Amino acid sequence: MQKIKSLMTRQGLKSPQESIHDLSPLENFRIPSKEELRELREQPTDPQAQQEIINSIEEVYFSNDSFDIVKYELEKLPPVLSLQEVEENRDKLKQQQAAVSKKVADLILEKQPAYVKELERVTSLQTSLQLAAVICTNGRRHLNIAKEGFTQASLGLLANQRKRQLLVGLLKSLRTIKTLQQTDVRLSEMLEEEDYPGAIQLCLECQKAASTFKHYSCISELNSKLQDTLEQIEEQLDVALSKICKNFDINHYTKVQQAYRLLGKTQTAMDQLHMHFTQAIHNTVFQVVLGYVELCAGNTDTKFQKLQYKDLCTHITSDSYIPCLADLCKALWEVMLSYYRTMEWHEKYDCGEPPPSSDGSNVIGDEETTFDRSYVKKKLEHGLSRIWQDVQLKVKTYLLGTDMSNFKYDDFIFVLDIISRLMQVGEEFCGSKSEVLQESIRKQSVNYFKNYHRTRLEELRMFLENETWELCPVKSSFSILQLHEFKFMAQSRSPSVSPNKQPASEIEKTVTLFEQYCNGGNPFEIQANNKDDETEDVLASNGYESDEQEKSAFQEYDSDSDVPEELKRDYVDEQTGDVPVKSISRETLKSRKRSDYCLNKVNAPILTNTTLNVIRLVGKYMQMMNILKPIAFDVIHFMSQLFDYYMYAIYTFFGRNDTFESTGLGLSSSRLRTTLNRIQESLIDLEVSSDAAGSLTAVEERKERVPVPHLSHLVVLTSGNTLYGLAERVVATESLVFLAEQFEFLQSHLDAVMPPAKKPFLQQFYSQTVSTASELRKPIYWIVAAKAIDYEQMLLLMTNVKWDVKEIMSQHNIYVDSLLKEFEQFNRRMNEVSKKVRIPLAVSNILWEHCIRLANRTIVEGYANVKKCSNEGRALMQLDFQQFLMKLEKLTDIRPIPDKEFVETYIKAYYLTENDMERWIKEHREYSTKQLTNLVNVCLGTHINKKAKQKLLAAIDDIDRPKR
């Protein structure tokens, strides 16, 4: 069946008749003829039986066209042929062939109407195609006629006109392209002129024009080149922006801002500007320090440039430390000033004021209104603290990179002064308290000051031990404010401002440092050895009784042989640079008044070179304290130790004498004794041994103490001719009193800087130490008074007097004259001493008071030694005492005479009755037991009996018992 279909397909669409004739003999044999078909059609058939026959056909016959049926059937034949079997097989195949042929004939007859209909359609299509060919031939002929008559004649003209217009446009474009290609030269010129806004404007216009002609290949390359040029302009603009950080120029900055505004990158410019400022700070400090390090290193091939800034700071030498710090602050000031002026520019800009420019072309356009000013303002304000923090950290690293504990005082003060000025800059710059700088300088200051104070105490001990207690002559108008160290107080200078010719307070009231130095100058342009105008000469002669004495004494002072060399050098260097004592004419000396211990002499301060040194140290301490308030308590504490040690030395040299302190006269008040004990326990190192034994704490405590000073062997206190060193005692004691007065003068200044929590310490120091300085006069001058007059000789003379006389005497005893001669000699010696040293009235009064008290008590003691005495003897005692008082009042101006009642009361007690004497004994406890007992014994037998004597002695014993 499949083979039959394939045969029909290969033959194409042919009529059944044609197809039959075209068949091969074999195929023609297999296909029934018309007659056969008619017979087959006429023969009655059973469709079911016929279908069964077809189904019985082997599948192999339907396999493919190449199947060889004959070969297949022949191969099926058995080896031994049987005619009957062959015929049966043949009949079977004939039946199958007839069934297939019948089926094929039925199918062909069924499809024949459709075939005929389709053939008719093909014939109709052939006719339509022939008609279309005729129509196409006619259309082509007509088109040829139109082409020749219309298109080539009229439309050709229009095409040429259009081509002409296109060429004119092309020519215009070519000229524009030529102009665009020539803009590179103009852009380069503008960049050289730093006309960044004009260059950017031109570049943007060129880019806009290039986008119009981007369809040209050359323009696409030009557009890329313009973009590269614009990026190059931005790079140069960034470099120009970085120049603002060190040297702000209004015109330059205006151009840069306009350029960024044209680019639409104003906010980016702000970010870049802050980055440049940060970088400028780092590069500036590194280059400054590197320059000094390489300069000091010389030709050594050390790669300092590869070091970190922190490590680089450790290579700064002590000699170059201050110049480097000053240059560092100058450079940082330039950076901060540029930032300040940048903010100032934007403030004027925000207020609507056009920024100044060198020409009229740089005018801010209408695009200002769309600019985000709030962003710029916030960015600039935030940048203040960031920049100042960077500055602080850089300076802190520099400060802590070097150990300044061994610096000279003036150098260290200069460092503090620079940092103080820098902190003032920070406060004006962004309102910062500069905690980083304060902490770093506090560490250095505490370290430096402990070492400095320890050295100063050792020097003070050396000065005290070499001090001969000679008078340092100063003018009567001398004030500590005249000293170089106290100039900052005389000028009322702010503690945080460095010394200047003009008081800084006046400047601060009107303008800030940024306003003052905005247009030039630098607040750190300070010379390290800056001196004030010539310091007033505070030295002078104190005046002498004769020209020769004045000349010799003054020459002695002028030689300054006893002053330590360091102090002389310190005084010369820090004051005027001249010799401390200037020459004085003889006429000037002659014109001065006679000098003694009375008030006929000018009240010039009494002080020594050591006192002056202590005062200067106090001034130096105050300078440091005022500049660096965080360590104010430490400084004041150390300052108090200077006074404590000086006071303890004076007491040790001149006031300590156990023999006379045991007299019970109350010469040293309990407050003074407490103060001296406190100084000894807290400051004085009493241990002489150098053993290393003991705890580490004890060793550290000893480091904070100072050994006991020893009086110079050149000072002689045992000679009666000099009143046992009275001149030295006066100079020493009164210099201490003068020093205490200066501390009193400085109290308000110290109180102002002392932290509130530590003020009780300052109050206690003044109330318990400074105020007790004058109390040392009594024990010191008591020693002179006790030795100046021979009281023992007077007692011996009194023992030879007979007091039980029967007649009233009109002549006093010889011991009175002897005592008065002692006082006259004492007066003469004081006059001699006063020619060398002015003795203040308070000192002379104390000396006279001590001598008179001792004399009166010696008189009472002599009266207490009397074994027998009559009423006339008591009258003689009164006569002697009155004679003594009368002559004594001519020698001294002290009124009333000290202890006058002490003698008179004791003499008059002789006349008291028993009851009155008992009451008198209980009321007058100032007399010793011996004196009271002797009084009772002498009165026995005159108006007191033995019973009364026992009663009175019992009363005396009751009084004496509590003392035991």
- And the tokens for 623? 């300078």
pLDDT at 223: 65
pLDDT at 32: 55
Kindly write down the DSSP assignment for every residue of 783-851, as one continuous string. Answer: HHHHHHS-HHHHHHHHHTS----SS--SS--HHHHHHHHHHHHHHHHHHHHHHHS---HHHHHHHHHHH
pLDDT at 340: 86
Q: How do residues 409-418 score in pLDDT, each as one tens digit?
A: 888 888 888 8
Is-contact 679 434, C-beta < 8 A? no
Which residue has better confidence, 943 or 822? Answer: 822
Q: How do residues 872-895 score in pLDDT, each as one tens digit?
A: 888 899 999 999 999 988 888 888
Q: Please, which pLDDT band fits residue 491 given cuts at 50, 70 and 90?
A: low
pLDDT at 577: 36
pLDDT at 744: 92
- And the tokens for 150? 């219309």
Least confident of 132-136, 393-397, 429-433, 768-772: 429-433
Report whether pLDDT(483) > 90: no
* Domain residue ranges in the chain: 264-351+370-432, 467-490+602-686+703-777, 789-897, 912-963
Q: How do residues 122-135 score in pLDDT, each as one tens digit?
A: 899 999 999 999 99
C-alpha distance from residue 471 to each of 125, 591, 606, 731, 833 (Å): 154, 21, 7, 6, 12
pLDDT at 132: 93
Q: Please, which pLDDT band fits residue 37 given cuts at 50, 70 and 90?
A: low
Kindly write down the DSSP assignment for every residue of 209-247, as one continuous string. Answer: HHHHTTTSHHHHHHHHHHHHHHHHHHHHHHHHHHHTTTS
Report whether pLDDT(231) > 70: yes
Dihedral sign computed on CA atoms, order 201, 202, 203, 207? positive
Q: Please, which pLDDT band fits residue 35 given cuts at 50, 70 and 90?
A: low
pLDDT at 150: 74
Q: Model pTM?
A: 0.61
pLDDT at 600: 36
Q: Please, which pLDDT band fits residue 421 given cuts at 50, 70 and 90?
A: confident
Q: Please, which pLDDT band fits residue 39 given cuts at 50, 70 and 90?
A: low
Least confident of 96-110, 199-213, 464-478, 535-549: 535-549
Closest to 928 (Cα-Cα) out of 875, 858, 880, 872: 858
Please list the alpha-helical segments (H only) found in 81-216. 83-146, 156-181, 183-192, 196-212
Least confident of 85-99, 438-452, 498-512: 498-512
Q: Please, which pLDDT band fits residue 213 given cuts at 50, 70 and 90?
A: low
Rg (C-alpha) for the chain, rounded Å, is 65
pLDDT at 573: 36
Region 141-153: mean pLDDT is 79
pLDDT at 497: 39
pLDDT at 25: 41
Burial 626-660 (b: 16+ CB within 10 A, else e): bbbbebbbbbbebbbbbbbbbbbbbbbbbbeeeeb
Q: How many CA atoms lie within 13 A of 279 on its CB side?
A: 11
pLDDT at 20: 40
Q: Please, which pLDDT band fits residue 645 given cuts at 50, 70 and 90?
A: very high
Q: How many CA atoms lie within 13 A of 150 on its CB side?
A: 5
pLDDT at 34: 58
Report whether pLDDT(19) > 50: no
Least confident of 279-288, 360-369, 567-576: 567-576
Region 657-668: mean pLDDT is 55
pLDDT at 743: 92
What percentage of the chain reaches a pLDDT higher than 70? 74
Region 277-300: mean pLDDT is 84
Region 940-959: mean pLDDT is 79
Region 479-484: mean pLDDT is 86
Q: How do residues 447-471 score in pLDDT, each as one tens digit?
A: 888 888 888 899 999 999 998 888 8
Report whether pLDDT(620) > 50: yes
Report whether pLDDT(21) > 50: no
Looking at every residue in the chain, the average pLDDT score rounds to: 76
Region 629-649: mean pLDDT is 89
Least confident of 127-136, 662-671, 753-762, 836-845: 662-671
Report whether pLDDT(27) > 50: no
Q: Please, which pLDDT band fits residue 478 given cuts at 50, 70 and 90?
A: confident
Q: 3-class DSSP state for residue 724?
A: coil
What percentage of the chain reaches a pLDDT higher than 90? 10
pLDDT at 623: 84
The helix (run of H) or strand (run of E) holding residue 443 is helix 435-466
Q: How do residues 593-603 score in pLDDT, each as one tens digit?
A: 333 344 334 57
Which residue has better confidence, 741 or 264? Answer: 741
pLDDT at 529: 44
Local structure of residue 150 (DSSP, 8 states): I
pLDDT at 737: 93
- And the tokens for 583? 């020459």
Least confident of 356-365, 392-401, 816-825: 356-365
pLDDT at 248: 82
> What's the full length of the chain, in residues?
964
Cis peptide before 896 (omega within 30 of 0): yes
pLDDT at 17: 43
pLDDT at 98: 87
pLDDT at 787: 87
Which residue has better confidence, 40 or 703? Answer: 703
Residue 440: how many other CB atoms lie within 10 Å: 20
Instruction: Give the whole-angstrom CA distance, residue 418 versus residue 527.
Output: 11
- And the tokens for 563? 């002053």
